[in-house]
Amino acid sequence: MRLTPVHYRGGAPALTDVIGGHTQVLFISVTLMNQPWKAGQLKALGVGGGKRVPQFPELPTIAESGLPGYQAVSWFGLFAPVGTPASIVRNMNADVQRILADPTFQEKFLTPNFFEPIVGSADAFASYVKAEQARWSKILADNKLSAE
């Protein structure tokens, strides 16, 4: 399947162009496409997570639409320079996890912005990062993608 990549500085200009018909297809965060989609300016074909987005139960995942294992998810994390004392890392993780687990924070910030929290210890997050590195290195190698 041939698609011509068009590079943008950020999601907002890319969204503007697909709404305007200058480009035809786009991968964009559900946060940014929510309103134009509800307004009928775009058609949404599927979402890239492992399961359907709770706010859009009618939108299938791409994985269940014929591409099993497909994943298109952005994730965000907190890092420190290597050598930062383990006690600081551990305690900071505990503090951040408390914030992410707080129902008020979920209700007022996470859910309205379509974030799903990443739960777990610093070691669990380190494993997550390793798994993501393995996944991305394979995607880039399989598709012979590089920036230079």
- Among residue numbers 56 through 75, which ones bind other proteins (CB under 8 A)? 59-60, 62, 65-67, 72-75
Of 13, 69, 87, 143, the one binding other proteins (CB under 8 A) is 87
Dihedral sign computed on CA atoms, order 104, 106, 107, 112: positive
- Using CB under 8 A as the binding rule, whether residue 39 contacts other proteins is answered as no
Residue 6 binds to other proteins (criterion: CB under 8 A)? no
Q: How far is the CB of 6 from other proteins (least distance, A)?
A: 13
Closest approach, Cβ 42 to other proteins, in A, equals 5
Write down the residue that tokens 């551990």 correspond to.
90
Angle between helices 86-101 and 122-142 (to 10 degrees): 90
| Token code pair at residue 127 | 């494993």
Out of 25, 35, 38, 101, the residue judged to bind other proteins by CB under 8 A:
25
| Cβ neighbours around 62 below 10 Å, total | 19
Shortest distance (Å) from residue 69 CB to other proteins? 14
Shortest Å, Cβ 134 to other proteins: 9
Query: Please, which of residues 122-141 interact with other proteins by CB under 8 A?
Result: 122, 125-126, 128-129, 132-133, 135-137, 140-141
Q: What is the gyration radius of the CA atoms in the chain, in angstroms? A: 18
Please tell me what DSSP assigns to residue 129. Answer: H
Asked whether 61 and 52 are in contact (CB, 8 A), the reply is: yes
